[in-house]
A and B are shown apart, each in its own frame.
Chain A
Amino acid sequence: MGKELKRTPLFNYYKENDIKLIDFGGWALPIQFSSITDEHKSVREKAGLFDVSHMGEILVKGTGSEGFLNHLLTNDVSKLTVGQAQYNAIVYENGGTIDDLIIFKLDKLGYLVTPNASNTEKVFQWMKKEIVEDVILENRSEDIGLIALQGPYAERILQKLADDDLSKLKPFHFFQHVALKDITSVLISRTGYTGEDGFELYLETDETEKLWHLILEAGMEEGLKTCGLGARDTLRLEASLSLYGNELSDEISPLQGGIGFAVKTKKEADFIGKAALTAQLKNGVDKKIKGLELIGKGIARHGYKVFDEGGSEIGVITSGTKSPTLSNSIALALLSTSGNEVGTKVKIEIRNKLVDAVIVQLPFYKREID
């Protein structure tokens, strides 16, 4: 490989522990530490620790920031209170998705926006192009590390390091400037992308490896495992969470891509893409992400074609795997909406063979809330 891969704050940790790294969108990151299946199960049953420092962080500040963001994003930013996070999408005029992201309301006039790693520059440039007076933009991606602690034991592990009562932190809310042992300023949000309870921890790049070790130590007796990109993908897929580049793209709108809940066409603010998305809502979308369970053998991969029982092509697989929790072969597919209801039998072309599958209700996996 000729090009230099970008390093997260945990790069030295990977090297010291002889962890194999791959090129993930230009970043050197591990697919797995031990085994994807084991890592996946530890997140469902206990807890897992992920390095997600490659994700982007863009600060939006100034008196115009709420209006600016509400003009760019599909969800209703005016609904956010300080300390609250919101899942969101940013789209082109035609409704195609630029990215999906989370936005945090830091204070009255400041927001943190977290695009996907590979989309950070694209989103930043798009924001710069649309910038208005009274808004300041800062791409802070280089200065901020991000660790995700996910799983049913996440709270009890992190609580060992924090004086603040973490049980008071509700889903999609966050605490700022939290001290975790001698690391003094961490943003702790009750968010994640695994379908489990958990936290995402934003902090300075320089302190990220220290926090990684503190959490590993605190989680040792709880069965915490370090997890790579492989488990991150199987976990989010079981939970039927859309991923940019798979279920979402510049050709797939949020309504088609399974994140319609983040589109508020009735919000007061006008926003880019509103007309296109309103029309899609009014007329219905022609294609939509659906869940498939394979009846026949094999694994459906991204890009495989899907046919109806009559042999007509009705769509394409966007993500597929063997589910470590459910032990069956599952996939998300972008399918034509006409007639493809839950229970409909379809066929997936896997290496020149047609394999039987059935359209199922999403999500594939949902945690039991106690």
Chain B
Amino acid sequence: MKENRLYSKEHEWILPLGEDAVRVGITDYAVKQLGDVVYVEVPEVDAEVSIGSEMGTVESIKSASEIFAPVTGIILAVNEELEDAPELVNASPFEEGWFAEIQLENPVELEGLLSEENYQAYVAELVIEEEA
């Protein structure tokens, strides 16, 4: 279990950092769908993002996938290591492959995200659909 994390249906994980900030990355499910990550485009620090808006891109050899902001706020920090080592997203999606940190504008938005348990159930359904 990844303690304290929340999840979006777009396969981002959200780790609360104190009361009004979060760290965001993509889940192992998303990484598996993507395959080998070869390029990551992170947002600018201080950029304003709103919930559901595009804030970056993760590219595998075959395709480009947008990363959507799971919350509204201001970008506090980005994982600059991804620029030279995009493979960190494959190797360590929940830790070293983190994407950005966001200062929350509406902490109440966190209530709309999925718990670990609910996210796992959501993914299980997707897997069944995919296999059908």
Residues on A close to B: CB < 8 A? 31-32, 35-37, 230, 233-234, 297-299, 301, 321-322, 324, 329, 351
A350 CA to B64 CA, complexed, in Å? 11
A301 CA to B41 CA, complexed, in Å? 15
> Chain B contacts of A301 at CB under 8 A?
64
**Which chain A residue has the least Cβ–Cβ distance from B66?**
A351
Across the interface, do A31 and B62 meet the contact criterion of CB distance under 8 Å? yes
Pick the interface stretch among B8-16, B20-28, B32-40. B32-40
Min C-beta distance of A267 to chain B, whole Å: 39
Across the interface, do B35 and A351 meet the contact criterion of CB distance under 8 Å? no
Min C-beta distance of B84 to chain A, whole Å: 10
Across the interface, do B61 and A230 meet the contact criterion of CB distance under 8 Å? yes
Indicate which residue in B35, B41, B60, B61 contacts A298 across the interface (CB closer than 8 Å).
B41
Across the interface, do A329 and B39 meet the contact criterion of CB distance under 8 Å? yes
> Chain A contacts of B36 at CB under 8 A?
35-37
> Chain A contacts of B38 at CB under 8 A?
37, 299, 321-322
Give the number of residues in B that approach A within 8 Å (Cβ atoms). Answer: 12
**Which chain A residue has the least Cβ–Cβ distance from B130?**
A20
Sampled A-B contacts (23; CB under 8 Å): A32-B35, A35-B35, A35-B36, A36-B36, A36-B61, A36-B62, A37-B36, A37-B38, A230-B35, A230-B61, A233-B62, A297-B83, A298-B39, A298-B59, A299-B38, A299-B39, A301-B64, A321-B61, A322-B39, A322-B61, A329-B39, A351-B57, A351-B64
> Chain B contacts of A298 at CB under 8 A?
39, 41, 59
A300 CA to B63 CA, complexed, in Å? 10
Indicate which residue in B35, B39, B57, B59 contacts A36 across the interface (CB closer than 8 Å).
B35
Min C-beta distance of B61 to chain A, whole Å: 5
Closest 6 CB pairs of A and B: A322-B38, A37-B36, A36-B61, A299-B59, A35-B36, A299-B39
A351 CA to B41 CA, complexed, in Å? 11
> Chain A contacts of B57 at CB under 8 A?
351
Min C-beta distance of A296 to chain B, whole Å: 11
A342 CA to B57 CA, complexed, in Å? 30
Min C-beta distance of B54 to chain A, whole Å: 9
Across the interface, do B64 and A299 meet the contact criterion of CB distance under 8 Å? yes
- Known: A32-B35, A36-B61, A299-B59; 17 extra A-B contacts, CB below 8 A, are A31-B35, A36-B35, A36-B36, A36-B60, A37-B36, A37-B38, A230-B35, A230-B61, A230-B62, A298-B59, A299-B39, A322-B38, A322-B59, A322-B61, A324-B61, A329-B39, A351-B57
**Which chain A residue has the least Cβ–Cβ distance from B60?**
A36
**Which chain A residue has the least Cβ–Cβ distance from B39?**
A299
Indicate which residue in B35, B41, B62 contacts A297 across the interface (CB closer than 8 Å).
B41
A234 CA to B61 CA, complexed, in Å? 8
A36 CA to B37 CA, complexed, in Å? 10
A35 CA to B41 CA, complexed, in Å? 21
> Chain A contacts of B41 at CB under 8 A?
297-298, 351
A1 CA to B57 CA, complexed, in Å? 27
A329 CA to B41 CA, complexed, in Å? 14
**Which chain B residue has the least Cβ–Cβ distance from A294?**
B39
**Which chain A residue has the least Cβ–Cβ distance from B62?**
A230
A14 CA to B64 CA, complexed, in Å? 26
A6 CA to B57 CA, complexed, in Å? 33
Mark interface residues in B31-55 (1 if CB within 8 Å of A CB, else 0): 0000110110100000000000000
